């Protein structure tokens, strides 16, 4: 075992106990409502331990860890059953974006809070009229003497009710269309001009929200990149998404598969075998993507990977019900973890770029097929 793996494992064994013991196995898709305050404390614990921003460059306050080390961290984190992160949107999206496109003042102001786990972020991209078609953003912001004034509505905003800050794209040039005239703003969430309303999902729980901006204000300096260049910055953020956490995610998938397999009778054995084989394909795909020497890159690995894992996970959810038979249709108190898996995985093929959007990306960017006629 590598020294680094031992370091991660030891730290988790040392800290994921005592007051944090109830957090083992909590949080995550469909379960973000669990132990919220304790998980916020856990974020700060991680920050104190120096585990946030592992892959960030040293000059941004990170550890400059290699891809392999980051993978090890995510694997060990998942193996220990450590709780789902609630600081990931700051660590994986806002932070890298500010580090790449922000001013020195913005870096000094925002990166330490992310690294300490003390300031939480949410992402304001999607709108009721701008889902797959992100460039249809209508939320607008105008620069006045006291700062940017934001009006509009965002939707599917994970953890908005916990977040201190929101990074969002808003139309700052009246009359502009599509990708032009958008700006990337950082907006404090705790103010009168912002109202967060939870969306009750088909699981009966909530982790996504609608966020209403009614003359919300943020300081003039809280724009990342040039005003009007928000699309470029936002696309940069999306490029930071996905990657090294994939193998950690798959440790969780393997645990779910074990739970399903334990309930499967002989008649479902082959389906379990097929699911297990599918998970090996996901793992091989992730490792190939991370291997710099692997030949024949397509440039659309993220889309291929998303379609593969989202489809696999959804089928696992269906298998989780099939192995239980009719009993799976009864609810006892609340949804069981496998019922939750079954229901929540319907969202896997929608969020973070729906399957349909991913297919278009592959058709256009990899194959150069012409766009469909509008």
Partner 1 sequence: MSDLDDLRDSVRGFLDKHAPLRGDGDTWPRLSTELGLPGLAVAEAHGGSGGSWLELAVVLEETGRCLLRAPYLSTVVAAAAVTGADDLLTSLADGSTRAALALDEDVQVDGDRVSGTLAQVVDAPGADLLLVRTGGALYAVEGFEVEPLTTLDETRPQGRVVLTRAPARAVGDADRARDLLHLGLAAESVGAMRRCLELTVEHLKVREQFGRPLGSFQALRHRVADLTVATEAAASSTWYAAKAAADDAPHLPVAAPLAKATAADAFAQVAGETIQLHGGIGFTWEHDAHLFFKRAWTTRLMHGSSLDLRRLAYDRAH
Q: How far is CA 312 from CA 53, 155, 206, 257, 329, in A?
A: 29, 26, 24, 11, 22
- Binding of residue 288 to partner 1 (CB under 8 A): yes
From 7, 45, 241, 318, active-site residue: 241
The answer to whether the CB of 248 falls within 8 A of the CB of 75 is: yes
| Residues listed for the chain | 374
Q: CA 281 from chain center: how many Å? A: 22
Instruction: Map residue 63 onto helix, strand or coil.
Output: coil
By CB under 8 A, tell whether 293 contacts partner 1: yes
Our CB check for partner 1 shows the closer of 259 and 364 to be 364
Position 265 contacts partner 1 (CB under 8 A): no
Name the minimum Å distance from CB 217 to partner 1: 42
Q: What are phi and psi of 25, to 5 degrees?
A: 75, 10
Find, among 79, 101, 84, 247, the residue nearest to 158 by Cα: 84
3-state secondary structure of 183: strand
Considering the complex, what minimum distance in angstroms separates the CB of residue 311 from partner 1?
8
Site for partner 1 (CB under 8 A): how many residues? 39
Directed axis angle between helix 36-48 and helix 104-116, to 10°? 110
Shortest reach from residue 237's CB to partner 1, in Å: 24
Q: Which is nearer to partner 1, 95 or 353 (CB)?
A: 353
**Long-range Cβ contact pairs of 264-268 (< 8 A, separation 24 or more):** 264/319, 264/323, 265/323, 268/319, 268/322, 268/323
Instruction: Between 262 and 330, name the residue whose CB sits nearer to partner 1.
Output: 262
Of the candidates 209, 201, 203, 159, the residue with the CA atom closest to the CA atom of residue 334: 203
Selected binder of partner 1 within 22, 274, 325, 346 (CB under 8 A): 274
Among 79, 109, 179, 366, binds partner 1 (CB under 8 A): 366
Task: Tokens for 273, please give them.
Answer: 């075998």
- Cβ 336 to partner 1, closest distance in Å? 25
Sole binder of partner 1 in the list 277, 326, 329, 330 (CB under 8 A) = 277
Q: How many CB atoms lie within 10 A of CB 130?
A: 17
Cα 128 from chain centre: 19
Stretch that binds partner 1, among 20-28, 68-76, 216-224, 288-296 (CB under 8 A): 288-296
Instruction: Return the number of the residue (222 or 303) whose C-beta is nearest partner 1.
Output: 303
| Nearest alpha carbon to residue 171 among 183, 161, 160 | 183
Which of the 8 DSSP states describes residue 170? E
Residue 281 in the binding site for partner 1 (CB under 8 A): yes
* Residue of 276, 321, 337, 352 interacting with partner 1 (CB under 8 A): 276
Angle (nearest 5°) at CA 366 between 362 and 367: 95
> Which one among 270, 325, 331, 346 touches partner 1, defined by CB under 8 A?
270
Question: Residue 284 interacts with partner 1 (CB under 8 A)?
Answer: yes
Any contact of residue 307 with partner 1 (CB under 8 A)? yes
124: its two tokens? 């304001």
- Binds partner 1 (CB under 8 A): choice among 48, 66, 132, 280: 280
The yes-or-no answer on residue 34 being catalytic is no
Contact status: 104 vs partner 1 (CB under 8 A): no
Nearer to partner 1, 201 or 355 (CB): 355
- Shortest approach of partner 1 to residue 258 CB, angstroms? 11
Q: Which residues make up the interface to partner 1 (CB under 8 A)?
A: 270, 273-274, 276-277, 280-281, 283-285, 287-288, 291, 293-296, 298, 300-301, 303-304, 307-308, 356, 358-360, 362-364, 366-373
* Residues tagged active-site: 241
């Amino acid at each position: 075992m590598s020294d680094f793996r031992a370091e991660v494992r030891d730290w988790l064994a040392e800290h994921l106990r005592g007051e944090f013991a109830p957090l083992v196995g909590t949080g995550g898709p469909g379960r973000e409502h669990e132990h919220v305050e304790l998980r916020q404390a856990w974020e700060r614990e991680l920050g104190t331990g120096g585990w946030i921003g592992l892959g960030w460059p040293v000059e941004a306050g990170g550890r400059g860890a290699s891809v392999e080390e980051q993978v090890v961290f995510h694997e060990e984190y998942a193996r220990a059953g450590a709780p789902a992160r609630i600081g990931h949107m700051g660590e994986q999206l806002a932070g890298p974006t500010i580090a790449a496109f922000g001013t020195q003042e913005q870096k000094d102001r925002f990166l330490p809070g992310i690294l300490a786990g003390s300031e939480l972020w949410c992402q304001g991209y999607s709108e009721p009229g701008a889902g797959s078609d992100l460039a249809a953003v209508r939320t607008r912001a105008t620069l006045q003497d006291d700062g940017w004034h934001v009006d509009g509505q965002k939707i599917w905003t994970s953890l908005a009710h916990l977040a201190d800050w929101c990074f969002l794209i808003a139309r700052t040039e009246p009359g502009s269309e599509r990708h032009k005239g958008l700006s990337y703003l950082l907006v404090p969430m705790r103010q009168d001009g912002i109202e967060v309303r939870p969306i009750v999902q088909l699981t009966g729980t909530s982790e996504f929200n609608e966020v209403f901006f009614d003359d919300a204000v943020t300081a003039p300096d809280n724009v990342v990149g040039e005003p009007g260049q928000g699309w470029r910055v936002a696309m940069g953020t999306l490029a930071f998404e996905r990657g090294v956490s994939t193998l950690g995610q798959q440790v969780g998938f393997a645990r779910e598969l074990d739970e399903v397999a334990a309930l499967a009778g002989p008649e479902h054995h082959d389906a379990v075998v097929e699911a297990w084989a599918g998970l090996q394909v996901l793992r091989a795909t992730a490792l190939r993507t991370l291997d710099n020497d692997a030949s024949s890159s397509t440039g659309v690995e993220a889309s291929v990977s998303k379609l593969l894992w989202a489809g696999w996970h959804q089928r696992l959810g269906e298998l989780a019900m099939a192995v239980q038979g009719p009993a799976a249709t009864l609810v006892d108190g609340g949804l069981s973890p496998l019922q939750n898996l079954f229901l929540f995985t319907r969202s896997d093929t929608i969020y973070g770029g729906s399957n349909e959007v991913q297919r278009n990306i592959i058709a256009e960017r990899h194959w150069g097929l012409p766009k469909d006629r509008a």
